[in-house]
Amino acid sequence: MSNYSKGGEMSINLIVGNEEAKKAITNQLRMKKSSGTYLLYGKKGADLLEFALAFAKGLNCEELEFDYCGKCRICENIDKEIYADLHIIRATEGSIKIDTIREVIKNASETSYENGKKVFIIEDINKLRKEASNALLKIIEEPPRNTYFIMLSNSLNILPTIKSRSFIIEVAKLKAEELDVNQEIYDFFLGNVQDIKRFKEENYVIEKKSFTECGVFLKDFIETGEFSSKIKLLSTLENFILEKKFINDIDKIVFSEILDKAVGKNRELLEEILYILIVKSKNLKNLEKLLELKEMIRYNVNISLILLNFILYI
């Protein structure tokens, strides 16, 4: 195993921006810890997963030490999220439940499939339920040998006990020039690094869509998860913001009903849509009220009424 990639350029340094985050990960790799608990955080849109996967590759790469080649079997499988000793935990129905964490603990205590280092990436750590948090704390305090926990969050507003047990690395949200796109494209995707990279790589075209088509593309996105449907959905939301000054209350009510019917019981997706509308609207006058209505989506309330009020206020 060599220390550096060909030409002396470390693969982790090929990641755009975030020099401090890359330096922190490299330093942690060089320390050769037998286990570890890490918290990667950054604003919504920052590509936290990219750095978590880079960390996982750096821990397990067959070719390089303190870095990763990106080309060996392990690196390629980690990128595809199919490496046997990589476990990615994501929230379901808006939270991470105790049963999920129990499964994590069980897997962490078992022998490695690849005789390497087991990596558990837990996205949206702030969505841990209380009992799940308590269960997780016990294992991240003293992880089993060759076991690493990498937790991701869009803020540091999480349990102090989780923060105190973690090595914290901040991942900054990239700017338009760092992503090599114009400001219009950057704003369309709200600076979401993963979306912008995919948009560029796959040469998607952004077509202008009327807000009246929102329900069609929202349903299609829910059913297929296709990125093209997401782009069309974003276009309808942007169109609504551009046209809202010229839309009467009746049409706003209809738009609210379209959203309500299409999103169904998926409160997490609805909350994301409201977030997009808030950011795109730049409505500072009603910002506090809009944020309050968005937060209410999480609770046992009349969603249709909340959504209607939100659309009328924005």
277 lies in some domain: yes
3-class DSSP state for residue 296?
Answer: helix
Q: Are residues 78 and 146 in the same domain?
A: yes
214 and 142 assigned to the same domain: no
One pLDDT digit (tens) per residue for the chain, 314 residues: 544 444 445 689 899 999 999 999 999 999 999 999 999 999 999 999 999 999 999 999 999 999 999 999 999 999 999 999 999 999 887 788 899 999 999 999 998 898 889 999 999 998 888 888 889 998 998 899 999 999 999 988 888 889 999 999 999 999 999 999 999 999 999 999 999 999 999 989 899 999 999 999 999 999 999 999 999 999 999 999 999 999 999 999 999 999 999 998 888 899 999 999 999 998 888 999 999 999 998 887 899 999 999 999 99
The answer to whether residue 160 sits within a structural domain is yes
pLDDT of residue 3: 45
At 108, which CATH number?
3.40.50.300
Question: What is the model's pTM?
Answer: 0.87
Give dist(CA 269, CA 71) in Å, integer: 35
Angle at 167 between CA 162 and CA 142, to 5 degrees: 60
**pLDDT tens-digit readout, 251-298:** 999 999 999 999 988 888 999 999 999 999 988 889 999 999 999 988
Residue 120 falls inside a structural domain: yes
Torsion of Cα atoms, 29 then 106 then 94 then 285, to 10°: -30
Residues 217 and 145 in one domain: no
- Number of residues in the chain: 314
Residue 221 inside a domain? The answer is yes
Residue 305 sits in the same domain as residue 160: no
Looking at the structure, do residues 11 and 158 belong to the same domain, yes or no? yes
Final residue in a domain of this structure, among 170, 195, 230: 170
Domain residues for 253?
Answer: 204-313
**Could you tell me if 58 and 158 lie in one domain?**
yes
Phi–psi pair at 23, nearest 5 degrees: -65, -40
Quote the pLDDT of residue 2.
44
Model pLDDT for residues 197-224, shown as the tens digit of each residue: 999 999 898 999 999 999 999 999 999 9
Does residue 146 contact residue 118 with C-beta atoms inside 8 Å?
Answer: yes
Alpha-carbon distances of 296 from 74, 94, 218, 243, 262, rounded to whole Å = 43, 14, 21, 26, 19
> What are residue 268's phi and psi, to 5 degrees?
-65, -45
Residues 17, 133 within the same domain: yes
Let me know if residue 30 belongs to a domain. yes
Residues 165 and 211 occupy one common structural domain? no
> For position 9, what pLDDT does the model report?
52
* C-alpha to C-alpha distances, 110 to 114, 136, 197, nearest whole angstrom: 12, 16, 36
| Domain-located, residue 225 | yes
Q: What is the DSSP letter of 47?
A: -
Distance CA 138, CA 161 (A): 11
